[in-house]
Amino acid sequence: MKTRSAPSVTPLLISAAGGWLTNLAFPDRGWWPLAYLGVALLLIALRDLRTVQSGLTGLVWGLAFFLPHVHWAALATGSPLPWIALSLSQAFYVAGFAIAWTVARQAAWVREHPLIQTAVAAAVWVAIEQVRGSWPFGGFPWGILAFSQVDAPVLPLAAYGGEVLVSATVVVIAGLIALAATQERRSSHSAVLGVACVVAALSIGPSLLPLSTGAEAGELRVGAVQGDVPQQGAHWAAQAREVTANHAAGTQRLAESVESDGLDLLLWPESAADIDPRTDAEQAALVEAAAEAVDAPLLMGTQRFPDGQDIRYNEMVLWQADQGAGSAYAKQHPVPFGEYVPYRDLFRRITPLVDLIGTDMAAGTDPAEMSVPVERLGRAVDVTVGICFEVAYADLIGEGVRGGGELIVIPTNNASFGHSQESTQQLAMSRFRAVEHGRATVQISTVGASGIVLPDGTVVQRTGLFTSEQMAATLPLRTSLTPATRLGTAPRTTVWVLAAAAVAGGALSRRTRHSGRQLLDAGRQEVHHGAHDEFLRGRSSVKA
C-alpha cells in the first residue's frame, strides 16, 4: 500500500512569498506588477502537488496575503482575534481555489495544453474571488486582484468587464509568467519569447482602449468637507457633536474659498452628524448654518434609531437651507461583525468582543441612488451613493448607476482604522468604480483619505489622514453606460459556469483514470495468478 509523502517545504515557501508580494501590489505600496508575480508564484508552487497538498499551499498564500492586507481590523477592534479570524476565513477561499484548480487541470484538454491551463486558472480564480465577495453574510470583496491595478495599464478594462475582466487578466498574465518560468530547457527560445510578447501585450495593450470621460449632461460644482475627529479611537457618541462642529467649521472655510464660483452640492462624510439633526435641535442648527453658508444642498451622514426598535440605520440625508431634511439613503450592506453581529448568542460564546457593537445596524432596502435638486441646472441630478464599505460591492454601485446616477459619491468614516492602509485601499476601489462606470467619483471621509476622481480614474485632489481639509471641483455629469455597467452580473455568472464545468470535467477525468487504473491492476493480478497456476500445474506434471 502506497503512503503519501509529506508536502515539501519549498512550495509552501514559494506560496508564502507570492502572497506577501501580492499584498504589496495594493495601497499603500501600490506596486501593481507584483500582483502578476505573486499569483505566478502560487501557480508555480501548485504545479506538481496533489489535492490536499494544494489546499495547504493555497492556505499559506492566503494567510501571507490577508494578514498584512487587513491588519487594520486589529486596529479597529483593539484585539488581534478578529483580524486573525478574518484573515483565516479569507485564506480558506484561496485554499479552495488551489484545490479546484488542481482538480480542473486533471482533464486531458486542460493538462495537455498550457495556454488552456492559464485560461482555466483565471476562470477558477475569478469564480472563487466572486464567491468570496458575495458569501457568507453578503461576502467580503476586500483584496480582489482588480483593485490592485488602479495605476496599471490594464485599468481601462474595468469599463469593459469590471472586476471579472481585470482580475482574470491579472491571472492570465501571472499564468503566462509561470509558464515561461517552468519551461523545460529543451523548449525553444522562440516559445519563451512568444509568451513574453503576449504578456507585454496584455499588460500594456489595454491602455490603448478608449474611455469616454467628457460631460454629457452638464457639469456639477461639488464641494466636500473632511472635518477630522477630536480624538482617534474614541467612541462615536463621546465626540459626535464635536465632529459635526468640525465639519460645520470646515464648511465655513470652504464657502469663503469658493465664494465667487459657488457650489451646486456640498458633501459631508458618513458619521459627520451621527447625532441625528432631524431629531436634535442643536445639531440641526449646525447643519442649517452650513447649508446656508454655501447656498447649496448638503448630503450628510447620520444615524437613525427608530422608536421602539433596538436597531439603527446608517443614512445619507439630503438637507436644504430653509427646508431641512429631505430624502435619505440607508446603507444596504452593513458590515457583519463590524456594524452588526449575526448569530450574536453563538459568537458571544467564542468572544465577548461581539458586544462592542451594542445596537445592530439594519440594512436599507432602497437602491443606492439619491436625487439632488440643482438650481443652476434647473433640474435634479441623480447621484449614486455607496456608504463606506459599499464601494467594494460591484452590484450595489452598478445598480445605482443603471438607475440613473450621473455621479458617484462614497461617504466614509475611517476614524477607527488609524494610520493604516484601509482608507487608501478604499480610495483605490473608488477609482476603480469611476472607470468601471465612466463616472466622476468623490470619496469623502471624516479623517481621510478623501479624493476627487475623474471618470478615467485620475485623482485630481486628495487629502491626508487625520487632517481638516476641504475640496472643491467642477465635475462632468454623465449618463451613458459603459459595457461593464450594461453587462451587470453577466461576467460573474459566466466565470461561475466556466469554472464549474472545468472542475467537473477534471473530477470526471480523474475518476475515469482511477477506474481505468483499477481495471488495469485487476487485469495484471489475474494474469499473474493465471501464470502462477500454470507454473504449479507444470511442476506437478514434472513430478509425476
> How far lies 60's CA from each of 52, 88, 354, in Å?
13, 10, 28
- Residue whose entry in the numeric block shows the C-alpha cell 453563538: 346
* Integer Cα distance of 427 and 443 in angstroms: 7
pLDDT, tens digit, 9 for 90 and up, residues 96-142: 999 999 999 999 999 889 899 999 999 999 999 999 999 999 999 99
Question: Are the beta carbons of 333 and 293 closer than 8 angstroms?
Answer: no
367 three-state secondary structure: coil
Say what percent of the chain tops pLDDT 70: 91
* Integer Cα distance of 475 and 383 in angstroms: 12
Mean pLDDT of 388-392: 98
Cell digits of residue 36: 502578476
Q: Write the single-letter amino acid at 309.
A: Q
Question: Are the beta carbons of 475 and 452 closer than 8 angstroms?
Answer: yes
What confidence tier does 195 reach under pLDDT thresholds 50, 70, 90?
Answer: confident
Integer-rounded Cα Rg, in Å, for the chain is 28
Residue 233: the pLDDT is: 67
* Integer Cα distance of 405 and 381 in angstroms: 8
DSSP assignment letter at 488: T
- When mean pLDDT is compared across 126-130, 301-305, 324-328, 346-350, the lowest value belongs to 346-350
Cell digits of residue 159: 469599463
pLDDT, tens digit, 9 for 90 and up, residues 414-425: 999 999 999 999
Query: Strand 379-385 relative to strand 441-445: parallel, antiparallel, unpaired?
Result: unpaired
Count of beta carbons in the 10 Å neighbourhood of residue 462: 16
* Integer Cα distance of 277 and 316 in angstroms: 12
Residues contacting residue 378 through CB under 8 Å, at least 6 positions apart: none
- Residue whose entry in the numeric block shows the C-alpha cell 508564484: 41
pLDDT of 535 > 60? The answer is: no
526 three-state secondary structure: helix
Phi, psi (deg, nearest 5) at residue 32:
-55, -30
* Integer Cα distance of 416 and 60 in angstroms: 28
Closest by Cα among 227, 229, 363 to 287: 227
The H or E element that residue 30 is part of is: none
Count of beta carbons in the 10 Å neighbourhood of residue 255: 20
Closest by Cα among 467, 421, 471, 470 to 229: 467
Residues contacting residue 143 through CB under 8 Å, at least 6 positions apart: 26, 65, 66, 69, 70, 90
pLDDT, tens digit, 9 for 90 and up, residues 204-263: 999 999 999 999 999 999 999 999 999 876 666 779 999 999 999 999 999 999 876 799
Phi, psi (deg, nearest 5) at residue 280:
-125, 120
232 three-state secondary structure: coil
The H or E element that residue 266 is part of is: strand 265-267
Residues contacting residue 47 through CB under 8 Å, at least 6 positions apart: 178, 182
Question: Are the beta carbons of 407 and 397 closer than 8 angstroms?
Answer: no
Count of beta carbons in the 10 Å neighbourhood of residue 3: 5
Q: How does the average pLDDT of the chain come out, rounded?
A: 92
- Residue whose entry in the numeric block shows the C-alpha cell 466636500: 224
Count of beta carbons in the 10 Å neighbourhood of residue 332: 20
Q: Write the single-letter amino acid at 87.
A: S
534, HSE (Cβ side, Cα atoms, 13 Å): 6
Question: Are the beta carbons of 397 and 391 closer than 8 angstroms?
Answer: yes
Length of the chain: 544
Mean pLDDT of 381-410: 98
pLDDT of 164 > 60? The answer is: yes
* Integer Cα distance of 197 and 209 in angstroms: 18
* Integer Cα distance of 117 and 112 in angstroms: 8
- When mean pLDDT is compared across 208-212, 295-299, 353-357, the lowest value belongs to 353-357
Beta bridge partners of 315: 302, 330
pLDDT, tens digit, 9 for 90 and up, residues 456-483: 999 999 999 999 999 999 999 999 999 9
